[in-house]
Amino acid sequence: MSDLLAHVESVWQNVVPVLPGFTVEVLPTIDSTNSELMRRARAGLMEPVLLVAEEQTAGRGRVGKAWHSRRGQSLTFSLALPMAPVSWSGLSLAVGVSLANSLHPDVRLKWPNDLWLHERKLGGILVETASTGEAPHGARMVVIGVGLNVARPDAEAVARLSDAHGALPTMAPAGLAEILVGVTAGEVLARVAPALAQDLQGFESQGFAAFGQRFAQRDALQGRSVQLSDGTRGTACGVGEDGALRVLTEQGMRNITSAEVSVRPC
């Protein structure tokens, strides 16, 4: 039995009271857990499901970036469930808060969807929604994809992490094993999945406001000089009530949404 399969029962037992009808699936390999659950959502899947892959061959990140997944060296999963929050703003930040709180005090959050460890990327979040026309009370199926490095990726893996323009990461990614020696992908899944399910219910009822203070405590960009994708430089000043990044520029304060820019410390 694989390490992931060994933890499926405990994950299911801890999540199903929060998400009735919840199921867990573990696949040896797949193109992308997010892609698969989006396909199912468009076909009318309505029940909450956690899909975990031992290995992904075409994992996806934000703005065209690839996410490398290697058996036993990383944890890649997607959670699909119907949601009808008052506002969707800040959902990826709330997911990041939940994951970081479950993982380790040293994990920080780089707006809008990266987890950092010691100034290096530890993981990423990809949120997608699908409207099937069958969801109750105006809900949409949301698919939340998570990729976490368990072991620190080797040089070959890093070389595959180029983005859509062929650019490589400026620093080698981090791995959870650096701070949680001997931890396995299955153990990480058991750490994060139950809390994530519960926090998503909190987001649905309260929005990002319920996560703002916790995000601020882990904000990796707070007070740092940043450069926006349009070349504008400024100082990161936390996030607003809607999860927008606040950047103080020479022209004044700007509220940045994830759809507008990418942000890098400079």
Residues 149 and 240 in one domain: no
pLDDT tens-digit profile of 239-255? 999 999 999 999 999 99
> In the predicted model, what is the mean pLDDT of the chain?
88
Residues 154 and 247 in one domain: no
Confidence of residue 28 (pLDDT cuts 50, 70, 90): very high
* Residue-wise burial string across 87-112, b where 16 or more C-beta atoms lie within 10 A, e elsewhere: ebbbbbbbbbbbbbbbbeeebbbbbb
pLDDT tens-digit profile of 149-198? 999 776 555 555 544 444 444 578 999 999 999 999 999 999 999 999 99
Residues 248 and 153 in one domain: no
Contact 49, 127 (CB under 8 A): no
Strands 114-117 and 107-110: antiparallel
Residues 56 and 187 in one domain: yes
Residue 61 is predicted with a pLDDT of: 56
Residue 249's Cα: distance from chain center in Å? 28
Q: What is the CATH number of the domain that holds 45?
A: 3.30.930.10
Confidence of residue 60 (pLDDT cuts 50, 70, 90): low
pLDDT tens-digit profile of 105-123? 999 999 999 999 999 999 9
Confidence of residue 57 (pLDDT cuts 50, 70, 90): confident
Q: What is the CATH number of the domain that holds 255?
A: 2.30.30.100
Of residues 1 and 56, more confidence is placed in: 56
Q: Is the dihedral of CA 103, 106, 109, 115 positive or negative?
A: negative
Residues 154 and 204 in one domain: yes
Residues 190 and 67 in one domain: yes
Residues 248 and 125 in one domain: no
Residue 217 is predicted with a pLDDT of: 97
Residues 211 and 229 in one domain: no
Query: Domain residues for 83?
Result: 3-218
Residues 236 and 210 in one domain: no
Residues 75 and 185 in one domain: yes
H runs (alpha helix) in the chain: 3-15, 33-42, 91-103, 155-159, 185-206, 212-218
Token pair for 191: 């750490």
Residue 126 is predicted with a pLDDT of: 96
Confidence of residue 265 (pLDDT cuts 50, 70, 90): confident
Q: How many domains does the chain have?
A: 2
Across residues 193-207, what is the average pLDDT?
97
Residues 130 and 229 in one domain: no
